[in-house]
């Protein structure tokens, strides 16, 4: 499914629709250039799933955890590879059956990802417009 978003209000509506489909154990892989909106999308989805905290980029922490309808783990693996992720124990977090994982730059740890992932590809069209493509892998 592809959708073109040209406002923050429409992105929030789309995030709410997406949030309704989230299930325990889901792994959401967010792909897109710097500034595409991976963290903004994650923040909006989590807000619709009961997270009250301010969801910010995990760029420096690499992993942040939030509580809402589920336990949410928000990764940014821009600066690490699969071996470094294993050293940090992220493979154990990824294996959790009840938590929901949002992974920015998931391609950097692709060998650790579960067999079923929801891929959210975000393409920058212009300053205010993004194209979201949602793909499910089995």
pLDDT of 95-134, one tens digit each? 999 999 999 999 999 999 998 899 999 999 999 999 999 9
How many CB atoms neighbour CB 27 within 10 A? 22
What confidence category does residue 72 fall into, taking pLDDT thresholds of 50, 70 and 90?
very high
Please give the model's pTM, rounded to 2 decimal places: 0.93
- Greatest pairwise CA separation for the chain in angstroms: 40
Query: Which residue matches tokens 């923050």?
Result: 8
Query: What pairs with residue 119 in β-bridges?
Result: 29, 135
Domains of the chain: 2-137 (3.40.50.300)
Measured CA to CA in angstroms, residue 11 lies from 60, 78, 86, 138 at distances of: 25, 23, 33, 26
CB contact burial 84-99 (16+ within 10 A = b; e otherwise): ebbeeebeebbeeeeb
Check residue 82 and give its pLDDT.
Answer: 92
């Amino acid at each position: 499914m592809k959708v073109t978003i040209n406002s923050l209000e429409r992105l929030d509506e789309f995030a709410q629709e997406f949030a309704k489909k989230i299930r325990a154990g889901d792994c959401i892989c967010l792909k897109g250039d710097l500034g595409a909106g991976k963290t903004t999308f994650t923040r909006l989805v989590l807000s619709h799933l009961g997270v009250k905290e301010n969801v910010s980029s995990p760029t420096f922490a690499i992993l942040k955890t939030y509580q809402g309808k589920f336990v949410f783990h928000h990764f940014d693996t821009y600066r690490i590879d699969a071996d470094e992720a294993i050293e940090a124990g992220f493979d154990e977090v990824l294996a959790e059956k009840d938590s929901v994982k949002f992974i920015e730059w998931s391609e950097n740890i692709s060998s650790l990802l579960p067999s079923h992932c929801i891929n959210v590809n975000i393409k920058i069209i212009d300053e205010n417009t993004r194209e979201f493509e949602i793909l499910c892998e089995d």
